[in-house]
Amino acid sequence: MLTDGKRKSVEPMAARLGEDGNRQALAHFITTSPWDPSHIRARLAWKMEAAVRPTALIFDDTGFLKDGNASACVSRQYTGTAGKVTNCQVGVSLHLASDYASAAVDWGLFLPGTWDPTSPKADPDKVARRTACGIPDDVGHVEKWQLALDMADETRSWGIEVPLAIADAGYGDAAAFRLGLQQRGMHYVVGISTTLSAQPGEAVPVAEPYSGPGRPPVPKYSDPPRSVKQLVIAAGRKAARPVQWREGSRPAQAAPAASACTRGSWPCGSGPPDARSGRPPTVRSCPRAGCWPSGPPASPSRSSSGCPTCLPTHR
């Protein structure tokens, strides 16, 4: 919305452009700002921290559906907004959240590889539109999970420390994201796909005897990893414990607790090993760090699960 002062400055320009003038130039005049947005985000985060009193950081992304291809970073990609692969932009965001409120305080537009001239997936037509869309030359393709970690670092630089991170499987499936959170001293509850590999909770890496010169052997698991789906089925329903993660929106019919959204969780994983060597992760924040698959064994095709680094004490 334009204030009276801004409207008075814009209307003469619109008249000079003419009825069928360059609307794109007018839109650029209105929407382009020379300010560094990080200062505005920091001020917003400080105000929201006081109002929300966050107990968790939530990482998420949102799709903005597009019919054309003129907007920056538009590409055919998956978005939960539509529940399918479609033409859209995707924005990654960080939210301060508590039991009673949440607010987005950091965000960024995801740039697909098709828009990056250095990417093997580069699309010449999309790369040619970078200048018209105002994309700086030094901005390239960065994975969503890395954008999320960068936002966590930026939030910390503002003096906001929240030790718990929450994200869906779009982030949780990336081992580098989980290890990045551990390296920052953060606990996490993230979704993971049931196809992800892990070791049973009782598995312990063992090093072979050192027999002479050369590098000492690195501890390895004796058995190959199995999929989370296989570990859940092997653990069985009796191994599950109920975990409440939020209050439901529907009113309780029988008892107040009935409105709580719950799901069974199985402590059956000790964490995904290195994909090439089978070694366990080199960074561990807790002896029980690993995968906590969610969903009843009767429906083994469920695609997501929870993965906190420590035993959950409450929601």
pLDDT, one tens digit per residue, over 252-282 is 454 444 344 555 565 545 555 444 344 444 3
Q: Of 275, 282, 269, which Cα lies nearest the Cα of 219? A: 282
Q: Of 220, 224, 194, which Cα lies nearest the Cα of 282? A: 220
Domain ranges, ordered by start, for the chain = 23-162, 192-203+220-244+262-315
Q: Of 54, 285, 95, 287, which Cα lies nearest the Cα of 185? A: 285
Q: Which two tokens stand for residue 237?
A: 């329903």
- Inter-axis angle of helices 175-183 and 144-157, nearest 10: 10
Give the predicted TM-score (pTM) of the model.
0.71
Instruction: State the sign of the Cα–Cα–Cα–Cα dihedral 157, 158, 163, 168.
Output: negative
Between CA 308 and CA 274 the distance in angstroms is 19
Tens digit of pLDDT per residue, the chain (315 long)?
444 444 444 445 445 444 445 556 555 555 566 777 888 899 999 999 999 999 999 999 999 999 888 889 999 999 988 889 999 999 999 999 998 899 999 999 999 999 999 999 999 999 999 988 888 899 999 999 999 999 999 999 999 999 899 998 899 889 899 999 999 999 998 888 888 888 887 788 888 888 778 888 888 888 888 888 888 888 888 877 776 666 655 554 544 443 445 555 655 455 554 443 444 443 333 333 444 444 433 333 333 333 333 333 333
Here the contacts of 172-175 (C-beta below 8 Å, separation 24 or greater) are 172/307, 174/143, 174/145, 175/272, 175/275, 175/281
pLDDT, one tens digit per residue, over 53-77 is 999 999 999 999 998 888 899 999 9
Here the contacts of 80-88 (C-beta below 8 Å, separation 24 or greater) are 88/63, 88/64
Beta-bridged to residue 192, according to DSSP, are 305
